[in-house]
Amino acid sequence: MTEVSIPAPRTREAPAAQRDVRLAPRPPTGRRLRPGPTSARALALGPLLLLVGWTGGSAVGLIDPATLSPPWTVVTTFGELAADGRLQSNLLTSLQRSVAGLVLGVGAGVGLALLAGLTRTGEAIIDGPVQVKRAVPTLALIPLAIIWFGIGEQMKIIVIATSVLIPVYVNTHAALRGVDARYVELAETVGLSRLRFVRQVALPGALPGFFVGLRLAVTVSWTALVVVEQVNATSGIGYLMTQARTYGQTEIIIAGLVVYAVFGLVGDTAVRAIERSALSWRRTLGS
């Protein structure tokens, strides 16, 4: 019997053009992998959810009013404090202390960061003491600050300034030390003077780190303000909260915390807006 071989079926090969089409990468879809810039509405989402939870818990009785006053009581307290003028006067005092300490601390932090970041001698002298201060909490310095500067406004502003100095110095110094070495070599090649190098290379390169430190500094200024205004103070939001604690007025304490939170959030939002404007040339996920 003769064997009959059946040839294997031949597959038709696609034309070269069709193969190229199949192998070509897919066109990008409308999905974005990078997050867009954060809007003010998105930043307010977290506090809004917290407020909703607080209101709902107080309405259904899950939160004891003696422990945490409901939001409507806090709103009424705000109106009463504003009506008798206590809110405005104490708020103005707190703002003056916070702004004065913030300006002094930021100026000192930037100056020390430039000295330590651009010179080896400056780093050897400055960096160690700043790191020591970084490890010491603000509250621990209060007794010594009272002995040195008394219990007046000078002590409060100096404590705030020394607290603000740390995040500004650390982040600006790190950004200065992290400037790309290729830019330094290019500046040496074109013969830039020391001053022009600082102005055209070092400072622009350190701006991102400076703004990170500035955002932290705004928050730290209010945190330090809470501490100093509860130590031998006769005015300010912290003093108002201390007096309320004596009489068990939790609604005034919550009102003071809301003031601190609002001004901290507003300050951080303002710094972020300035940062986006000043660093518009950077291409990052946030931009």
Domain map (residue ranges) of the chain: 69-277
256/235 Cα distance (integer angstroms): 13
**pLDDT 10s digits, 28-52:** 555 555 555 555 566 667 778 888 8
Largest Cα span, the chain? 119
- Residue-level pLDDT at 17: 47
Q: How confident is the model at residue 21 (pLDDT cuts 50, 70, 90)?
A: very low
CA atoms 249, 254, 255, 259: torsion sign: positive
What class, spelled out in words, does domain 69-277 have in CATH? mainly alpha
Tens of pLDDT, residues 175-230: 888 777 777 777 777 777 777 777 777 787 788 889 999 999 998 898 888 888 87
pLDDT tens, 92-133?
A: 988 999 999 999 999 999 999 988 888 888 888 888 888 888
Residue 169 has pLDDT above 90, yes or no: yes
- Convert the pLDDT of each residue in 232-281 to its tens digit: 777 888 888 888 888 878 888 888 888 888 888 888 888 888 888 887 76
Rounded CA-CA distance 254/56 in Å is 17
pTM to 2 decimals? 0.73
Q: Collapsing DSSP states into helix, strand and coil, what is residue 151?
A: coil
